[in-house]
Amino acid sequence: MADINGKMHAQAILDEVRAAGKKCKLAVVLVGDNPASIVYINMKKKACEQVGFDFELFKLPEDSPQSEVLALIDKINDDDGITGAIIQQPFPAHLNKGEILERLSPKKDVDCLHPQNVGLAVSGTGRILPCTPAGCIKLLKREGISIAGKRAVVVGRSDIVGKPLALMLLAEHATVTICHSRTENLAEECRNADILVAAIGSPKFITADMVKRGAVVLDVGVSRLAGKKVCGDVDYESVSKIASYITPVPGGVGPMTVAVLIENCLKAWELTHG
């Protein structure tokens, strides 16, 4: 078994972005003060500092009306000094998520959540790519793991991870199965996988009896256990004994998500500057 060192691969991507030497600026909009969001925003800020990008956080109160959020997005769209922007999720429940995600210019949508960018990404023609799914594909490629012809099983069908990742694996010529909470015989589906991706949000859900010997296992899940210890969707201790490759949590997929975001910001700069 080999651990896939996401930290190392992410650092290599950040080094490449830094070497490109472009003066980019990432803007983050935070509505409210969700503590987990603040942790994620600080990681993005740190990555910007590492590659020499400017960073600006726009904070709005939790009870901001939709019109105020949209007005801020319009301001960001019109600001030539801002290369890329993120509207940090989760949003407060009263906001219309779809309208917000569509308001940000696709050219600045470095999270790849605008329907236009999602469409291009899953058709295999996008420049800006969904951060976590693209991070997973990059990990496989950078480790020299072939995807074409392999059976890939993705557990989870969210719009930000499972669904786009399944379509991106398909674009890489894997034979793809998507599983979710209504899947019957989930363990059996998982055991068919040459490449098994867990994007569920349920700690240690994937156990060794659900994994084929020699499978490649990507663990996207991030859960906080009591005592604040971070844990993935895969029972690392048992699964690492039979997988050929496995991503640890932390230090696997997570750092790649941030690295792809920063790379997307550079691509956004290239889209604007030709």
What is the binding site for ligand NAP (CB under 6 A)? 132, 155-158, 160-162, 179-183, 186, 199-202, 220-223, 253-254, 257
User: Which C-beta is closer to ligand NAP: that of 170 or that of 230?
Assistant: 230
> Shortest distance, CB of residue 130 to ligand NAP, whole angstroms?
10
Residue in the block written with tokens 């201790």: 237
> Shortest distance, CB of residue 219 to ligand NAP, whole angstroms?
8
Catalytically annotated residue among 108, 109, 111, 267: 111
Strand 195-198 relative to strand 216-219, pairing = parallel
User: Which C-beta is closer to ligand NAP: that of 84 or that of 156?
Assistant: 156
User: Which C-beta is closer to ligand NAP: that of 125 or that of 185?
Assistant: 185
User: Which C-beta is closer to ligand NAP: that of 194 or that of 233?
Assistant: 233
C-alpha to C-alpha distance for 147 and 251, rounded to whole angstroms: 22
Catalytically annotated residue among 44, 108, 163, 204: 44
Catalytically annotated residue among 88, 163, 194, 267: 88
Number of alpha carbons in the 13 Å side-chain half-sphere of residue 134: 24
Shortest-Cβ-distance residue relative to ligand NAP: 158
User: Which C-beta is closer to ligand NAP: that of 28 or that of 155?
Assistant: 155
> Shortest distance, CB of residue 198 to ligand NAP, whole angstroms?
8
> Shortest distance, CB of residue 254 to ligand NAP, whole angstroms?
4
> Shortest distance, CB of residue 223 to ligand NAP, whole angstroms?
6
Active-site residue 111, yes or no? yes
> Shortest distance, CB of residue 187 to ligand NAP, whole angstroms?
10
Residue type, 121: A
User: Which C-beta is closer to ligand NAP: that of 92 or that of 251?
Assistant: 251
Task: Decide: 190 and 178 in contact? Cβ < 8 Å.
Answer: no
Residue type, 208: A
Report the catalytic residues.
44, 88, 111
